[in-house]
């Protein structure tokens, strides 16, 4: 039995999210089916995170155990061939220690949310960014974002369906920057609550429009009540960017 670490890119628009579902296609299911054709055995993928329907990934980390003797390169190439033309690709494959786990060995996760701040419809980025037609002030959004950095009870920014044992999380970084018409919100933490990033982005968008202030954002945080949430951003602009690990198997 060999454990392989995989780095995966995907466009989540046509999927119900990462995790295998009974009511629609998932990224996990698509890769497992393709890989099973290559190794001729049932396989189960374990990922660093679980993305929602419509969410994308630049570099999701996952691992899989395979009984058949096969090189990391052949596993990647064969699976990619079977995945075509689906918008899913294994970018990197390597052998990993048997006790290394894509989820439980992970010490940090990073997401980016892309807002297209323009009046014109999205021709190329439809479903891959959140179009906000009114002017957003990224500097004000960035200043307000620092209210959320640190260890807090994030109940306000937590989905009612979240399965985490505690709403208390430590947010290591939350930054907002403008790149022409694109505003990027970057969030980094050891782990996140279900819908936390999208809920934070939704409220920061209200700050950017001048409808909320940093004080309003702080009040929402301190309310510890989902009813205090100002706005929940759509999945379109959210990307899983990186999983971080200690030791030799660093995030790629």
Distance between CA atoms of residues 154 and 168, nearest Å = 6
| Catalytic residue check, 52 | yes
Give CA separation, 192 vs 108, 154, 186, 221, in Å: 10, 10, 13, 15
Please enumerate in sequence order all residues whose Cβ is within 8 A of that of 179, keeping only pairs 6 or more positions apart, or say none: none
Element containing residue 181 per DSSP (H, E): none
Q: 78, 208 in Cβ contact below 8 A?
A: no
Angle, alpha carbons 150-181-229 (nearest 5°):
40
Neighbours of 51 (CB within 10 A): 24
CA 129 distance to own-chain centroid: 13
Q: Which residues pair with 168 in a beta bridge?
A: 153
* The two structure tokens encoding residue 252: 């790629």
Looking at 52, 99, 139, 153, which residue is catalytic?
A: 52
Distance between CA atoms of residues 208 and 35, nearest Å = 44
Q: Which residues pair with 226 in a beta bridge?
A: none
**Catalytically active residues, by annotation:** 52
């Amino acid at each position: 039995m060999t454990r392989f670490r995989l780095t995966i890119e995907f466009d989540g628009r046509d999927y119900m999210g990462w995790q295998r579902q009974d009511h629609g296609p998932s990224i996990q299911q698509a890769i497992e089916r393709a890989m099973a054709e290559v190794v001729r055995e049932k396989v189960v993928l374990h990922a660093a995170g679980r993305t929602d329907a419509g969410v994308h990934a630049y570099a999701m980390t996952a691992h899989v155990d395979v009984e058949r003797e096969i090189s990391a390169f052949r596993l990647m190439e064969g699976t990619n061939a079977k995945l075509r033309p689906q918008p899913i690709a294994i970018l990197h494959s390597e052998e990993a220690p048997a006790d290394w786990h894509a989820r439980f060995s992970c010490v940090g996760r990073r997401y980016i949310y892309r807002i297209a701040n323009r009046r014109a419809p999205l021709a190329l980025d439809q479903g891959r960014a959140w179009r906000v037609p009114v002017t957003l002030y990224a500097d004000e959004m960035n200043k307000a974002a620092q209210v959320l950095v640190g260890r807090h009870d994030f109940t306000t920014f937590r989905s009612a369906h979240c399965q985490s044992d505690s709403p208390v999380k430590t947010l290591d970084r939350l930054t907002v920057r403008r790149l022409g018409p694109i505003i990027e919100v970057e969030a980094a933490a050891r782990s996140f609550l279900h819908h936390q990033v999208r809920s934070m982005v939704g409220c920061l968008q209200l700050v950017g429009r001048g409808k909320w202030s940093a004080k309003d954002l702080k009040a929402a945080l301190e309310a510890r009540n989902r009813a205090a949430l100002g706005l929940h951003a759509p999945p379109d602009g959210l990307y899983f960017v990186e999983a971080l690990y200690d030791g030799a198997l660093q995030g790629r």
